[in-house]
């Protein structure tokens, strides 16, 4: 029986030393990216730094104590690796793999205020505003 492409890739993948893990795998386990492929693209684009040096390749090994600097979507996050992951678990479990070192990083997801709240007079007009505009522009 012929081996598939993934099986061949796994056979050629060298086993990681104990206590280490591939960078792209760790990013995926820690839920920094939605997929391992996206994690690999971040590394290849030079958006990940490992201990202040640009990460060379997605297969680079990381271990507990390493510091990652991640530049994504106009923000920079600094994460200290606490443990290698064993699987991609729920977000609460993923947060145990790292410590956020970014100043003000405890509220990483809450930036920009509450969702759906806008300052008065900005954005699209409300239904009430549209009705007022219609009354102004209607011919008498």
Q: Is the pLDDT of residue 110 over 50?
A: no
Evaluate whether residue 85 is within a structural domain. Answer: yes
Q: Is the pLDDT of residue 8 over 70?
A: no
Which of 33, 35, 37, 70 has its CA nearest to residue 55? Answer: 70
What is the number of domains present in the chain? Answer: 1
Evaluate whether residue 41 is within a structural domain. Answer: yes
Range of the domain at 67: 18-102
Q: Is the pLDDT of residue 102 over 80?
A: yes
Evaluate whether residue 122 is within a structural domain. Answer: no
Handedness of CA 119, 75, 77, 18 (dihedral sign): positive
37: domain CATH number is 3.10.290.10
Which residues pair with residue 100 across a beta bridge? 79
The CA-based diameter of the chain, rounded to the nearest angstrom, is 82
Evaluate whether residue 117 is within a structural domain. Answer: no
Average pLDDT for 60-89: 91
Evaluate whether residue 80 is within a structural domain. Answer: yes
pTM over 0.85: no
Instruction: Label residue 125 by pLDDT band (50, 70, 90).
Output: confident
Instruction: Label residue 119 by pLDDT band (50, 70, 90).
Output: confident
Q: Are 70 and 55 in contact (CB under 8 A)?
A: no
Evaluate whether residue 36 is within a structural domain. Answer: yes
Evaluate whether residue 111 is within a structural domain. Answer: no
> What's the pLDDT tens digit per position in 16-40?
567 889 999 999 999 999 999 999 9
Tokens for 10, please give them.
């796994």
Q: What are the backbone dihedrals phi and psi of residue 79, each rounded to the nearest 5 degrees, phi first? A: -120, 135
Q: What are the backbone dihedrals phi and psi of residue 47, each rounded to the nearest 5 degrees, phi first? A: -90, 0
Q: What DSSP element (H or E) covers 48? A: strand 48-50
Instruction: Label residue 83 by pLDDT band (50, 70, 90).
Output: very high
Q: Is the pLDDT of residue 106 over 60?
A: no
Q: Is the pLDDT of residue 5 over 90?
A: no
Average pLDDT for 41-50: 93
């Amino acid at each position: 029986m012929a081996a598939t492409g993934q099986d061949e890739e796994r056979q050629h993948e060298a086993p990681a030393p104990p206590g280490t893990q591939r960078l792209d795998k760790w990013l995926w386990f820690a839920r920094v990216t939605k997929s391992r492929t996206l994690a690999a693209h971040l590394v290849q684009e030079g958006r990940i730094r490992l201990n202040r040096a640009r990460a060379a390749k997605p297969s680079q090994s990381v271990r507990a104590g390493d510091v990652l600097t991640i530049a994504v979507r106009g923000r920079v996050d600094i994460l200290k690796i606490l443990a290698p992951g064993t699987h991609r678990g729920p977000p609460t479990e993923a947060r145990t793999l790292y410590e956020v070192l970014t100043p003000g990083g405890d509220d990483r997801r809450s930036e920009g205020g509450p969702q759906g709240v806008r300052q008065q007079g900005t954005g699209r007009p409300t239904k009430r505003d549209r009705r007022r505009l219609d009354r102004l522009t209607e011919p008498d």
